[in-house]
A and B are shown apart, each in its own frame.
Chain A
């Protein structure tokens, strides 16, 4: 029993509530939210340290014992995800201070930002599948508000689609939970894992159906092809700070849930489920990047790239070895950080030029060199050029795939890497290269303050590449912990 693991869920919730009282007083809201999100970052780092030292932490909420009550479980994977989420959230918050319109701030941006974090952290830390559904809902409801707020025509239309699709996904989720409960009679992750491993292998067809149903639900939230169609437009519509926040966090919660359920619970028929995951991973990678290559809009390219990168993240799961799953976690970490940085750069560019259309921009490198070169570093990191983090994450994935002789998916992932580089260079050529076309007034636009939240992200990406060895070892420890479900089961059920 340790209340420590509760704090990343509780603190944002409490602060979100307190911020409602200060709805008219924006400076106070900013101070409180800035301090809180910094504290959350430190707390997440501390929790990761404690879990790395002492093993899995569990908390039985309300003192109800494990299979009956709801448990929160912090293992290495979930605490890594909480730490990453705090980094992304903090960068987006400080970017929002600079760019967000005052009307948005008045209409509860900060409370809903914290409610979103509550949902995200809760989804990472919960050890109960119905509770996961609840935290998904908390997260989605907050994201609806953040997306729809502002109310331009385009934005409302896209948010409406997003709401309909998400609600549809939630319905499937609850059906899948009900089905799972009727078959196994429990909702606790550890208890589920234990019961499913006891089922007669000849008679587990229904469990495979449920596994695929869950995969479908999480795939919808994680934007896997062919369920990705809602993502590019709905992430294009809101302001950059919100798009970066949602793009950095929401799809990763879907990916986290896919990895969690398929390593812990649905391990009974992995030949089948992991193959489906691998096929969809290939399709997602490929179609995502093709979409990005065909577009000529800064933010849209980045949004579609999220889809392509989700493919990489579940590719490691599909291969299924410790090295590949460590690669998956590596690429989740790399991607959350660098994709947020890229979104913030697109926001800074938009502040300078007033557009996100690539064809209307040119030569910003001459007037804003720091913006240009920082973007360049982030872009080649995304594409996977050494010594940045993108290279090592893909390296682990590719090596894991080759060891398992999955040559085709490795080939696809390398081609996709090349196309990623192509689309990133395309942005760089159009936006930063060439002769400047912007007006004198735009030339004087200062972006230094806007770059401040993004610079730490680029540095983290650089460090994750340079210090690949310790970082990889951490992720490999997390992967090993996941591949042996008995560790998780024993620490929750205490047998």
Chain B
């Protein structure tokens, strides 16, 4: 007999959306307020994991067809290159730069080099968390 997961599926669709949007908020809040790439990445990973648990692995793999080990490499590369760009200006590695800009709709925003660095961390954390959990889950199947 097939179990009916209607409740779980419906709630997962809503909840994972909320978690994902909150994780993006956390990601952008980082480096001045609590938040950042690590927390945001972990939260994204939990949202995706919820999808993996309530639907099955094959279905989600169709929806998210990325190779997580490549994403780890991309994330690391983004973080390193962000650090490297300070070498171009003759400053020590990982020196951060920031500037305030006024954009029509959003008003004044702060652009910093910490953001791409955080993006790199975000990708690494998401990919590492999912890769390790999925590797254990797929065992013996």
Contact = CB atoms under 8 A, between A and B. Distances in A.
B125 interface: no
A17 B93 contact: no
Q: By DSSP majority rule, is chain B's interface helix, strand, loop, or mixed? A: helix
Contacts, number: 41
Contacts of A62: 92-96
Contact of B80 (A17, A20, A61): A17
Nearest to A62: B94
Nearest to A17: B76
Give the one of B76, B92, B95 with max A CB within 10 A.
Answer: B92
Kindly state the interface size class of chain B when it binds its partner: 10 to 19
A27 to B, nearest CB: 19
Interface in A14-48: 14, 17-18, 20-21, 23
A206 interface: no
Given A3-B87, A20-B69, A23-B69, A59 B93 contact: yes
B92 A60 contact: yes
A23 B76 CA distance: 16
B73 A21 contact: yes
B70 interface: yes
Interface residues of A, number: 16
A63 B80 contact: no
Given A3-B87, A17-B80, A10 B93 contact: yes
A329 interface: no
A66 to B, nearest CB: 12
B3 to A, nearest CB: 36
Given A20-B70, A20-B72, A20-B73, A13 B80 contact: yes
A23 B87 CA distance: 29
B93 to A, nearest CB: 5
A23 B96 CA distance: 32
A256 to B, nearest CB: 22
Contacts of B95: 62-63
A1 interface: yes
Nearest to B76: A17
Interface in B71-89: 72-73, 76-77, 80, 84, 87
B94 A61 contact: yes
Interface string A48-61: 00000000000111
A437 to B, nearest CB: 44
Given A20-B69, A59-B92, 13 more contacts: A1-B92, A6-B92, A10-B80, A14-B77, A17-B73, A20-B70, A21-B70, A23-B69, A59-B93, A60-B92, A61-B93, A62-B94, A62-B96
25 contacts: A1-B92, A3-B87, A3-B92, A6-B92, A10-B80, A10-B84, A10-B93, A14-B77, A14-B84, A17-B73, A17-B77, A17-B80, A18-B77, A20-B69, A20-B70, A20-B72, A20-B73, A21-B73, A23-B69, A59-B92, A61-B93, A62-B93, A62-B95, A63-B91, A63-B92
Shortest beta-carbon contacts, A-B, top 5: A20-B73, A62-B94, A17-B76, A63-B95, A6-B93
